[in-house]
Structure 1
Amino acid sequence: MKNNLPIAFLLIFLSCNFYAQNKEIVPYKPSKSEILERYRQASKLDEAVKNKVFKTRVNAHWQKDGNTFWYCNILKDSVREYILADASKGVKSKLFEELKLKKALSEITGKTLPQKSLVIDSLNYDAKANSIALKYDKSYFEVSLSDYSIKKITALAKDLKKYSGFNNQWARWESFRTDTISPNKKWLAFIKDNNVFVKPVSGGEAVQFTKDGTKEKPYGSLAWSPDSKYIVGYHITPIVDLPVHYVLTSVANTTRGQLRSNPYKQPGDPFTTYEMFLFHVENQKVSKVNTPVIDFFDAPELHWRNGDAGYFTYEKVDRGHQRFRIFEVNTQTAETRSIVDEKAKTFIYESRLFTHYLKKSNEVVMTSEKDGWRHLYLVDGLNGKENQITKGEWVVRSVDSIDENKREIWFSASGMNAGEDPYYIHNYRISFDGKKLIGLTQAKGNHNVAFSPNKQYYLDSYSEPNIPTIIELHRTLDGKKIMDIEKSDASDYLATGMSLPEPFHAKGRDGITDIWGIICRPANFDPNKKYPVIESIYAGPQDSFVPKNFMDRYTTEMQSLAQLGFIVVQIDGMGTANRSKAFHDVCWKNLKDAGFEDRILWIKALAKKYQYVDDSRVGLYGTSAGGQNALGGLLFHPEFYKAGVAACGCHDNRVDKQWWNEQWMGYPVDKHYEEQSNVTNASKLSGDLLLIVGEADENVPPESTYRVADALIKSGKTFEFLPVPGMGHSDGGPYGRLKKRDFFVKHLLGVDPPDRNSNELNQ
């Protein structure tokens, strides 16, 4: 008998373990009273978590010495503390003694200051004089910090020093005038009766350069060469965009609806065209430049060759976004040649196309995705020779600054750090030849860098969705950390019971690529019950959208919605930006795809990892392009998505704005536009749908949603429809968000939402 005891205990252990692993997890289906209580608790929690996280950012006020800055922390109960940091010494301290400053202010104003923390409207600090000048209670004062002597002043001094700053992009399209004075101030070029004239500024008769300009086809958009010898202008065929209309139904002080109209270019609509001409001032010669007509976007910015005004370059993006060129024009011959000629089988993302012209060296720094990733290139503007500056399976996100003298580029990128979310942004410096790459942000996380005006120091703020923000001061020369500045305090927030979002990744449709997202759970949820899933969706190809920062404002609604008894998620599927070109190309002429295959696999992987995730009850909601996606999920993947809320969706890409839709759906407007339209496919609806639209939407015409409603009605489909009087492009505002919550409670939890007409929540 003794010998059998170990075996018996082993059998008991194995049977218990088997039971634990195979215990049935029941779907979460609350009673009406329970859901009412959830609404009440969710409302209380929404209020309880406000202003519960501190020290999330530092707004540094750098001083003239270039080494010191001050900032203000707002703490619990609105208590403020003013901090002085000395970068050269690596120390920080209180900017002033608050009790002594209060006493000084009280004496000079003759007023008793309140006991609460001192709130200063604006403040200047003078490190050299060890004094502060401040505005308090509509008056201005100067205070010596050595003895807190105080005097009244008339105003705060303005800092007139202009800092170069770090620019993210340079414009490519000019705003030209119809009259302009030459750089040498001797000539005035102007348009009169639709034609080009030039006359001496000192007086004299004007010379008419053109005679064929008409009202229907005028000349215009004039620009001088730096040596004042040439004028570049255009023979223009103007196009007036047709209007879209909407009616305001509830305007005060009238019993009539008010018609509103605004010009709106839709896919396929024509553009104003520009034929480029050269006007030679000395011999009054007119030359038509041998270059294609500019029939997409406006007249381009001109870049004149340094040291030789006989040449200039300009950029041209072909309609359809599949070709980008930099042309060089010879002003003597009016002939052109291509310095850059880039073509793509899918699309060139024009809005992210960065170019910067180096004036001293006649070179161009530009971005390209020609090797499959967005990288920096250096192009010789004289011979077109091209050298790649950055390389690798990672993405240049932005260019902060270019130092032509040191031949260095300061930029941000994502995906370079192994074992980290590939969307996390880090900052770098690199030389023009692709060498001397220096990482300025080493710690894991999503980084935001703010440089001092003299660029000798920078504040590095970094965090993750579930890890509080850390703010450090670094030296720019080598990236060395000087000192810790602040760390976010979320203890009061977590004390409410609210959980933080959890990052999660799973393989996409190719079985190789990681798809990233976040999940939000209800506070104090029961892991022995299965909760429905709601996806907050926005699959617009112009960016990636899953929050990467701690306490990102975009997670607020997700976390609030989760409190009603849902697992709320957000995912970046294929077809969105900031990964490889191939990842992004999925969207090409294919907005219907919306990364759904990746999203569905991600949610299924989540349900496999966490048994409390119920992937048999999945809903989704979105606004604008997200509204298009939310309805698209129901139409094209009804086997997975059961309920959706679509707000102000661009449901038919032929109805929405030209610039956004042609970038992804291409030009000309072909059959694929119709085939992928939610309007065309409305008869496929099998799930539960709530449509929301603001009647005053000037972004996506309201008829986009109304056309879907019309198609659903004609197909005999059942759906809910919420038009919001007077509202523009939005998710429906507070009332729309309330209706969205009620909709998911009813259709995913199977419980009637609160009857607000009977004030049920307050009973």
Structure 2
Amino acid sequence: MKKYLLLFLILAATPQAFTQQKDLTLEEIWGGAFTTRGLESLRSMNDGLHYTLLNADPESRTVSIGKYAYETLELTDTVLISSPDNDIPYFSSYAFSKDEGKVLLATDIERIYRYSRRGIYYVYDIEDKTTTKISDRKIMSPQLSPDGSKVAYVLDNDLYFLDLRSGTTTRITNDGEPNAIINGITDWVYEEEFGFVRAFDWNSDGTRLAFLRFDESAVPEFSMDVYGEELYPSQYRFKYPKAGEDNSIVSLHLYTISDGTLRDIELKDAYYIPRILWKNNPDELSVRTLNRAQNHLKMYTVKGVDASVSLLLEEKDEAYVDITDDLTFLEDDSFIWTSEKDGFNHMYLYNRDGSLKRQLTSGPWEVTSYYGYDPGKKAIFYQSTENGSINRDVYRVGINGKNKKRLTNQTGTNNADFSTNFTYFINTYSSAETPYVYTLNRASDGEKVRDILDNSALAEKLKGYKTSPKEFSTIQINGYDLNMWMIKPADFDPTKSYPLFLFQYSGPGSQQVANRWWASNDYWHQMLAQQGIVVACVDGRGTGYKGRDFKKMTYRELGKYEVEDQVAVAEKLSEYPWIDADRTGIWGWSYGGFMSSNCILQGNETFELAIAVAPVTSWRFYDTIYTERYMSTPQDNPNGYDDNSPLTYPAMLKGDYLLIHGSGDDNVHVQNTMRMIEELVQANKQFDWAIYPDKNHGIYGGNTRLQLYTKMTNFIKDNL
């Protein structure tokens, strides 16, 4: 078995050293004691030599946009600063127009779902130094036209645009209605599963707008009680299509600014429209569609005044086709595209007519991020797993598919943020032993220009605490070499016997075993390890970055192979002489909660304890896009849904089971946990459970996380 050992810290192994080190505490973990320093979100400017940062001073209630030079990292100019004297409000985020002549400023932002927000927005004219309020009411997803002369936005489910020169507001649609018709922004399920909110886009010269319309009238409505602090609870209602139910009817429309013409575009077999993107030619729009099964993707070109529709590209898969943003139209509207069609995710170059010109990357590894194309140097920049599936490196390759060069040289996780003209990139590096380090690098050869920021102070601070190396290896399970990490107690003694506690997520295409710096759960796992528990994590079949076949083998059977793998992992690790086979636990959140629930039931001879946080307990309760992508519909695949549902096996519970959910979870509804509770009650099974009032899928706010992790820690101490 091939093993990789990555030492986070080199710790003195003497009893005296351990007595000098402190224990990690939940209060510190959730109180921010180990927070990493990071860079503010920067925006590269058009010249590629400068970037901007938002600089806020809460005490004086001022905020500014500073302009910095990549080469020196020094402030060279201040684009604007908020002040009552110049009518610039205190803002929380900003966006430039394409020509950088105007800046969109966001204030009074109100969160809706995962990505969607509404707020009061302003446009600042840099040359004139004037500020324009877009609307007195809260709007959604404003976007400046390329020349900055107009701004389009959504208000009360209708699409508008404001002409900044004349001050005239034009209403494009008139039929928007809550829980019925949405114009220009997505419905709940598109936002959650296709990952976008703004469903309109300006063409390249700002003369036309393309937008999607969602008719969700037939979508079943879901309701959640909101307990709040008033005498009576209220009820929140929204459209949520569960697997097998009706989705929104989605249609595409084009609006011409000059004459107000609104044209409906007919797309055959377009059950889903997950992406629209204008080409460089202002008369050509690319539109991606999917069938309901999500295994047949088509990309169309909508062209000209008559909006003729022609097929540009087509992809099919026996399981499903993933939707990404990996699409770049070059100057002549040829395009770069990523696909799994050769068994691994790679980049391809297509001619403007959709014919394949060449495959740009190949091999038994995955392109994990596509950063973009530099037309000057005719080079493409990307991130991949070429140095092992748990690592990430940044590369460049020519548009001819040749002269590939690795731009990062440290083993771990490297993420790049490139300047607009691809002169520089800011590399964010971390590993299991090194907290985040930020450096400025040349894009031509990857050479470091200068250090920007690191977290050496955090690494030094952690030397004062009891921690252990995160040991990476592979473990052979059910015929596959699966990636694994393990954390042992710092004073580990192979002659002793330790309980085993598994953590996993296991969802399609996911990854938990990765060579990167710690998240909050890693600190908690370290704390458990120093209390005498061996903590391990294994990415089983169906997880990502090991090729198409490995990822998609769980198709139509979510929870079957993944559970088999976790049970087999627990059994194999229990063969180690220093693991107590009668003290095995598992935990997970969301999909991981679905998994831990199945493991304590179907693996009741192996697991003595399980914690499930916000679990799916039946895929019949989850949304259409995610669930049907992997399972087809319940009508088509009833056995796949029921044979792998924890609701089918309550009578098999033998061990200690803790079930946790937030009552305000709009994603995985608390209905999942309530149905699980009822099945366990009727099976006369004893278990523990907790409901967090009005908390969403993340279950956070105030002391919520501290209380939650204290509960889980005590449950483990008492029962494992």
Task: Determine helix, strand or coil for the equivalent of 1:406.
Answer: coil
SS in 2 for 1:367: strand
Structure 1: which amino acid aligns with 2:585? G
Q: Are the counterparts in 1 of residues 28 and 34 from structure 2 also a CA contact under 8 Å?
A: no
Match of 2:396 in 1: 429
Aligned to 1:247: 225
Instruction: Give the AA of the match of 1:368.
Output: S
Structure 2 counterpart of 1:323, one-letter code? H
SS at match of 1:562: helix
Q: Counterpart of 2:329? A: 357
Equivalent of residue 675 in structure 1, options 617, 626, 643: 643
1:601 and 1:67 map into 2 onto residues whose CA distance is 53
State the SS of the aligned residue for 1:390: coil
In the TM superposition, what whole-angstrom CA distance separates every residue of 1:149-168 from its partner, at most 9, and x where no partner exists? xxxxxx9xx99999999xxx
Of 589, 607, 610, the residue aligned with 1:623 is 589
Q: Give matches, 1:524-535, under 5 Å.
A: 524-535=491-502
- Residue 548 of structure 1 is matched in structure 2 by 515
Tell me the residue number matched to 2:631: 665
Partners of 1:378 and 1:128 in 2: CA distance: 32
2:340 alignment counterpart: 369
Identify the residue that residue 268 of structure 1 maps to in structure 2: 244
Structure 1 residues 484, 260: closer, same or farther in 2, change over 3 A? closer
Matches of residues 223-238 of structure 1 in structure 2 within 5 Å? 238=216
- The structure with the larger Rg is 1
Equivalent residues of 1:325, 1:342 under 8 A apart? yes
Deviations 1:469-500 (CA, angstroms, capped at 9, x unpaired): 66655332222345667683534423433223
**Contact 1:690 1:720 (C-alpha < 8 Å) held by counterparts:** yes
Find the residue that maps to 1:498 and give its secondary structure: coil
CA contact (8 A) 1:57 1:461 kept: no
Change (3 A) 1:386 1:344: farther
**1:295-320 per-position Cα deviation (integer Å, ceiling 9, x unaligned):** 3247x52535738x4x5432112222
Alignment partner for residue 692 of structure 2, among 724, 727, 730?
724
The answer to whether the aligner puts 1:343 opposite 2:316 as a matched pair is: yes
Counterparts of 2:44 and 2:311, CA distance in 1? 47
Match status 1:653 vs 2:619: yes
- What are the superposed Cα offsets for residues 371-417 of structure 1, whole Å, 9 maximum, x if unpaired? 11011111112253342111111111111222234332111111x12
**Structure 1 position 525, deviation (Å):** 3.9
Residue 744 of structure 1: how far off its partner (Å): 2.0
Helix, strand or coil at the partner of 1:377:
strand
Residues 1:54 and 1:290: Cα distance change in structure 2 (over 3 Å) = closer
| CA spacing shift, 1:263–1:499, aligned 2, 3 Å | same
Does the 8 Å contact 2:661/2:673 carry over to 1?
Answer: yes
Query: 1:59, CA displacement in angstroms?
Result: 6.9
Q: Does 1:498 align with 2:470?
A: no
1:576 aligns with one of 543, 546, 549: 543
Task: Report the counterpart of residue 270 of structure 2 in structure 1.
Answer: 294
- Relative distance call for 1:129 and 1:654 in structure 2 (3 A) is closer
- Which residue is equivalent to 1:205? none
Kept in 2: contact 1:353–1:368 (CA 8 A): no
Q: Which residue of 2 aligns with 1:115?
A: none
**Residue matched to 1:588:** 555
CA separation of 1:605 and 1:353: change in aligned 2, threshold 3 A: farther
How many angstroms apart in 2 are the aligned matches of 1:465 and 1:230? 49
What is the one-letter code of the residue matched to 1:239? S
Aligned to 1:746: 718
Distance 1:452 1:338, change over 3 A: closer
* 1:389 is the counterpart of 2:367: no
Structure 1 residue 543, shift from structure 2 partner: 2.2
Identity among equivalent positions (%) equals 22
Partner of 1:443: 410
Shift of the 667–380 alpha-carbon distance from structure 1 to 2, 3 Å rule, reads farther
The Cα of 1:336 is off from its aligned counterpart by 4.0
Whether contact under 8 Å (1:239, 1:271) holds in the other structure is no
Q: Distance in 1 between matches of 2:268 and 2:255?
A: 18
Q: Decide whether the 8 Å contact of 1:46 with 1:560 is kept in 2.
A: no
Q: Distance in 1 between matches of 2:711 and 2:28?
A: 19
Cα displacement string for residues 285-344 of structure 1 (whole angstroms, at most 9, x for unaligned residues): 99986641533247x52535738x4x5432112222101111234658876442211100
**C-alpha distance in 1, partners of 2:70/2:318?**
58
The Cα offsets for residues 259-278 of structure 1, whole Å up to 9 and x where unpaired, read as 33333222223233346688
Q: Secondary structure at the match of 1:679?
A: helix
- SS for the counterpart of 2:272 is coil
TM-score of the pair, normalised by structure 1: 0.66
Amino acid at match of 2:626: W
Q: Does the CA contact (< 8 Å) of 1:328 and 1:338 recur in 2?
A: yes
Which residue matches 2:678? 710
List gaps (5 residues or longer) in structure 1: 1-37, 72-120, 141-154, 166-170, 189-193, 195-201, 203-209, 749-763
Q: Which residue number corresponds to residue 95 of structure 1?
A: none
Matching residue's letter, 1:673: Y
Taking a change above 3 Å as real, the CA distance of residues 493 and 70 of structure 1, as seen in their structure-2 partners, is farther
- How many angstroms apart in 2 are the aligned matches of 1:430 and 1:324? 27
> Aligned-pair distance for 1:466?
3.2
Secondary structure at the counterpart of residue 462 of structure 1: strand
Query: Would you say the 8 A contact 2:183–2:212 is kept in 1?
Result: yes
Task: Provide the aligned length of Structure 1 versus Structure 2.
Answer: 604
Alpha-carbon RMSD: 5.5
